[in-house]
Amino acid sequence: MLRMLCLALVLAAAGVHAAPPASAEDDVGRFMAEKRFVDRLEEVRATMGDRVSAGANHVAQRASELVVTAMGFLGVPYRRGGSSVETGFDCSGFVRAMYEQTVGLILPRRADEQAAATQKIDKKDLQPGDLVFFNTMRRAFSHVGIYIGDNKFIHSPRPGAQVRVEDMGIAYWTRRFDGARRVLTHTPEPPPAGAH
């Protein structure tokens, strides 16, 4: 290919006007043009980009709704085994109720079961709506809250307390941090472009 390009440049410089010989690349180029492969590839790229963007927007919107809904329950009293505003919430009952109300997803009842049913993520990858787990009763995953951003989470802490926001950077929570999890919500794929 390089040899043909050099030959074409030499001939052009000498003033000779000769058509370069046809090559396999020219044949492939013509074939792709005839079949509109480049246009089709561009359409697929654009469609996939739109789907990824729409999916990301949908996830962000759900996370935002979840956090806003959870914040609406600030001040609701703690109650062991509680899972509603009428009864009060324990930590896992609060998380379960928020996901059921905003996402329509029913998580397991206990904090350790919620940890087992969700995807492990690194603490640095936390996003609003993710779950944060703590060892507060000398056993792993004994407490859970919902990450709201800025190193803070919302939870129903203990008897005599109410749903509130805490800073994960406080020594108490830092020492007891057990891990972060992401709740995978499976949403239906949008139909392919042009499908009816």
151-152-158-162 Cα dihedral, nearest 10 degrees: 170
Cross-strand pairs, 144: 133
**In this structure, what token pair is assigned to residue 15?**
């003033």
The rounded distance, in Å, linking the Cα atoms of 134 and 96 is 16
Sign of CA pseudo-dihedral 153, 154, 155, 161: positive
Alpha-carbon 165 to chain mean position: 23
Catalytic residues: 91, 143, 155
Length of the chain, in residues: 196
